[in-house]
């Protein structure tokens, strides 16, 4: 039997953030502190927040992986690192193929432009080499059932309408590695069922999928493998059923 193609290989990955100075401070504060206590500013030890610690993960073609873990375990940071937002502090991420990551479904690129125009821009960014682009955009827009609202500025859309448009566009075409991070959160009840079928279709056609959700039903419906992330490490890697059991055992039933 031919071994499945390796799509993602993460070796000893670490990710940490410097948390000193920032956010609460302003340049004015830094200026004042530098004059008041220059030694403390220069010699202050750097606090680092360790988000991912020596994480190893291999993803093969055909894997539909559920990432499971409590809030703050490092799931989204891991997904963002794979998608290229974060550069690992140490270790290596190798992706063999194209990655498409979806983290939010309620954001318009230009809120003043209409839903139809935003969909066009989004498609240009997500699928630069899409064949039959116009036809596929038309089909996705039809799927949203937004009708005349498609020609209304995106900023006037409700959360549900924004999610409909974004999800329809984001599921136009499959890719080698698809990352879906809690993508159903904004969709309304009726549309959730409808979009679930569409998402399942794009998942089936994609090489591998990493799926983040807090819904055990969704994970069991979509995934064939699950990884439990705890304190930035892979705590358990196995079938969805076994991983969810390990999750419950580790963190208790939520």
Footprint of another protein (CB under 8 A): 15, 17-18, 21-23, 25-28, 30, 80, 83-87, 89, 100-104, 107, 109-110, 112-113, 117, 121-122, 124-126, 128
Minimum CB–partner distance for residue 2 and another protein (Å)? 30
Give yes or no for a contact between 49 and 16, defined as CB atoms under 8 angstroms apart: yes
Taking Cα atoms as reference points, which of 17, 141, 139 lies closest to residue 85?
17
Q: Which residues contact 70 (CB under 8 A, 6 or more apart)?
A: 230, 251
Of 33 and 220, the one with the shorter C-beta distance to another protein is 33
Q: How far is the CB of 4 from another protein (least distance, A)?
A: 26
Q: Which DSSP state fits 45?
A: P
Cβ proximity to another protein: between 91 and 238 the closer is 91
Phi-psi region of 113 (alpha: psi -120 to 50; beta: other; left: phi over 0): beta
Task: Choose between 130 and 245: whose C-beta lies nearer to another protein.
Answer: 130
CB of residue 160 to another protein, shortest distance in Å: 17
Strand segments (E) across 1-148: 6-18, 48-60, 64-68, 90-95, 99-102
Min separation Cβ 180 and another protein, Å: 12
**Which residues neighbour 234 within 8 Å (Cβ) at sequence distance 6 or greater?**
55, 56, 57, 227, 228
Could you tell me the two tokens for 8?
A: 């993602």
The helix/strand/coil state of 20 is coil
Question: Which whole-number Å values give the CA distances from 77 to 13, 72, 87, 214, 242, in the listed order?
Answer: 12, 9, 10, 16, 24
118 vs 243 by CB, closer to another protein: 118
* Residue 117 C-beta: closest distance to another protein, Å: 7
Q: Minimum distance from CB of 88 to another protein (Å)?
A: 9
Q: CB-wise, 50 or 248, nearer to another protein?
A: 50
Smallest distance, Å, CB 177 to another protein?
Answer: 13
Please give the Cα distance from 131 to 162 (Å, whole number).
Answer: 25
Looking from the CA of 64 toward its CB, the CA atoms found within 13 Å total 17
Q: Which is nearer to another protein, 154 or 247 (CB)?
A: 154
Q: Which is nearer to another protein, 112 or 204 (CB)?
A: 112
């Amino acid at each position: 039997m031919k071994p499945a193609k390796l799509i993602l290989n993460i070796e000893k990955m670490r990710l940490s953030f410097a948390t000193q100075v920032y956010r609460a401070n302003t340049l004015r504060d830094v200026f004042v502190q530098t004059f008041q206590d220059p030694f403390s500013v220069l010699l202050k030890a750097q606090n680092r927040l360790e988000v991912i610690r020596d994480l190893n993960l291999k993803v093969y073609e055909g894997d539909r992986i559920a990432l499971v873990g409590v809030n703050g375990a490092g799931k989204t940071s891991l997904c963002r690192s794979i998608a290229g937002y974060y550069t690992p502090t140490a270790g290596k991420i190798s992706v063999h193929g194209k990655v498409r990551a979806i983290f939010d479904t309620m954001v318009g690129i230009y809120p003043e432009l209409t839903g139809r125009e935003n969909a066009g821009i989004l498609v240009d960014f997500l699928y630069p080499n899409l064949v039959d682009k116009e036809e596929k955009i038309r089909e996705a827009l039809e799927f949203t059932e937004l009708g005349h609202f498609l020609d209304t500025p995106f900023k006037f859309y409700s959360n549900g309408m924004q999610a409909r448009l974004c999800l329809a566009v984001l599921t136009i075409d499959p890719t080698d590695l698809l990352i879906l991070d809690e993508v159903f959160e904004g969709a309304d009840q009726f549309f959730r069922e409808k979009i679930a079928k569409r998402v399942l279709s794009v998942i089936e056609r994609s090489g591998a999928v990493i799926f983040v959700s807090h819904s055990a039903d969704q994970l069991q419906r979509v995934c064939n493998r699950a990884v439990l992330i705890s304190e930035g490490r892979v705590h358990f890697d196995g079938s969805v059923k076994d991983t969810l059991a390990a999750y419950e055992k580790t963190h208790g039933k939520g």
